[in-house]
């Protein structure tokens, strides 16, 4: 009964695992994987000598760290705000609005960001002009992009994130709050001393799980929102977009395979480490 599912995984997940040998070959499409020549570590020698590797690794890590921290603050913050609203209809309305970007594909988000950011007639430059400021050529100014990507990422994912923390808040025993109010604690104190401490385990777990994925970037965000603009690569090119380009645009299969294997191996190690940490914090939440 489970055979079809196992077969799908065998073909689409396990066969490619053996395909990592391509990284050690001079792959020629007409020869196939088996008949292409072994070239040992040549692809990696080339890779480690080029400046690309440090750029895409640094970008992937720093942007993901930025996303993890900002995402955590925004999700918890929004959940705290939503949790305090007394009018239930209002809570639902706000939640619907902040949740809606979750349903939008990155392609369409690319349209949204273009409408806001394009240099000639985008909304933001129009706004800057009205304020008497100089318009900014966003799509050729890499220095702004870590922040643009961070805000886009928050916009897209904070609805999802806040749901998790809201659910966590529902699990907190109301008696703590009643006791705190009797002692004259105000809202801020209640949040500081009751709500947040109760959410710490979830925060730790979510962060550790995210760290396990820190070597993988959200391809759609980096490809569509930046419009794959080469002027922005210095701050926006990440491992996933680089591998895609090496494979599809430059047809540099050796390089793409080498970077891909590098990502798989380091990524695997990071998942194991983060899982080991999760297990120490809360065995029930560890993956294995």
Partner 1 sequence: MATTLQVKPISQQRRSWLSRNAGQLGLHAILITVSVLFLVPLLVVISASLTDEIALTRNGYGLLPSQLSFEAYQYILLDPTQILRSYGVTATVTAIGTIAALTVMSLLAYVLARQDFTWRRPFSFFVFFTMLFNGGLVPTYILITQYLKLRDTLWVLFLPYLVVPWFVFLLRTYFNTLPKEFIESAKIDGASEWRIYLNIVIPLSTPALATIGLFCILMFWNDWWLALLYINEPKLYPLQYLLYAILRNAEFLSSNSAATAMLTTVKVPLQTIRMAMAVIAIGPVAIAFLALQRYFVRGITLGGLKGE
Binding to partner 1 in span 34-73, by CB under 8 A: none
Give me the least distance between CB of 248 and partner 1, in Å please. 7
In whole angstroms, give the CA distance from residue 117 to residue 119. Answer: 6
- Does 132 help bind partner 1 (rule: CB under 8 A)? no
- Does 266 help bind partner 1 (rule: CB under 8 A)? no
For partner 1, which is the closer residue by CB, 183 or 284?
284
- In this chain, which of 17, 89, 131, 249 binds partner 1, going by CB under 8 A? 17
Kind of pairing between the strands at 25-26 and 37-38 = antiparallel
**What are 193's two structure tokens?**
């001393």
- Does 9 help bind partner 1 (rule: CB under 8 A)? yes
**What are 285's two structure tokens?**
């939440």
In whole angstroms, give the CA distance from residue 52 to residue 257. Answer: 14
- Does 90 help bind partner 1 (rule: CB under 8 A)? yes
Give me the least distance between CB of 113 and partner 1, in Å please. 7
- In this chain, which of 57, 63, 153, 260 binds partner 1, going by CB under 8 A? 260
**What are 206's two structure tokens?**
């979510």
- Does 183 help bind partner 1 (rule: CB under 8 A)? no
Three-state DSSP at 276 gives helix
SS3 for 18-75 is: HHHHHHHEECCCCCHHHHCEECCCHHHHHHHHCCHHHHHHHHHHHHHHHHHHHHHHHH
Residues of this chain, 185-214, that bind partner 1 according to CB under 8 A = 187, 202, 206
Residues 235-254, one symbol each (x = binds partner 1 by CB under 8 A, - = not), give -----x--xx--xx----x-
For partner 1, which is the closer residue by CB, 63 or 239?
239
Residues of this chain, 211-230, that bind partner 1 according to CB under 8 A = 219-220, 224, 227
- Does 268 help bind partner 1 (rule: CB under 8 A)? yes
- Does 98 help bind partner 1 (rule: CB under 8 A)? yes
Secondary-structure breakdown of the chain: helix, strand, coil percentages, each rounded to the nearest 5 = 80, 0, 20
């Amino acid at each position: 009964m489970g055979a079809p599912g196992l077969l799908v995984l065998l073909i689409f997940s396990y066969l490619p695992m053996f395909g990592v040998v391509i990284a050690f070959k001079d792959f020629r499409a007409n020869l196939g994987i088996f008949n292409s020549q072994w070239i040992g570590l040549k692809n990696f020698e080339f890779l480690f000598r080029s400046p690309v590797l440090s750029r895409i690794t640094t970008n992937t890590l720093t942007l993901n760290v930025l996303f993890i921290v900002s995402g955590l603050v925004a999700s918890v913050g929004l959940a705290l705000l939503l949790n305090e609203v007394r009018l239930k209809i209002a809570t639902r309305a706000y939640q619907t609005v902040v949740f809606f970007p979750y349903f939008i594909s990155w392609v369409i988000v690319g349209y949204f960001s273009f409408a806001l950011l394009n240099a000639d007639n985008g909304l933001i430059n129009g706004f800057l002009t009205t304020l008497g400021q100089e318009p900014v050529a966003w799509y050729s100014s890499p220095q702004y992009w870590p922040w643009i990507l961070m805000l886009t990422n928050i916009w897209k994912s904070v609805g999802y994130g806040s749901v998790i923390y809201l659910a966590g808040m529902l699990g907190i025993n109301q008696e703590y709050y009643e006791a705190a109010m009797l002692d004259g604690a105000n809202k801020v104190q209640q949040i500081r001393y009751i709500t947040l401490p109760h959410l710490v385990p979830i925060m730790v777990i979510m962060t550790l799980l995210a760290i396990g994925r820190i070597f993988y970037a959200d391809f759609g965000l980096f490809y569509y929102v930046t419009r794959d603009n080469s002027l922005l690569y210095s701050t926006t090119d990440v491992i996933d977009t680089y591998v895609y380009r090496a494979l599809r645009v430059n047809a540099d299969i050796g390089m793409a395979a080498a970077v891909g294997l590098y990502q798989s191996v380091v990524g695997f190690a990071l998942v194991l480490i983060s899982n080991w940490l999760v297990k120490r914090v809360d065995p029930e939440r560890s993956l294995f």
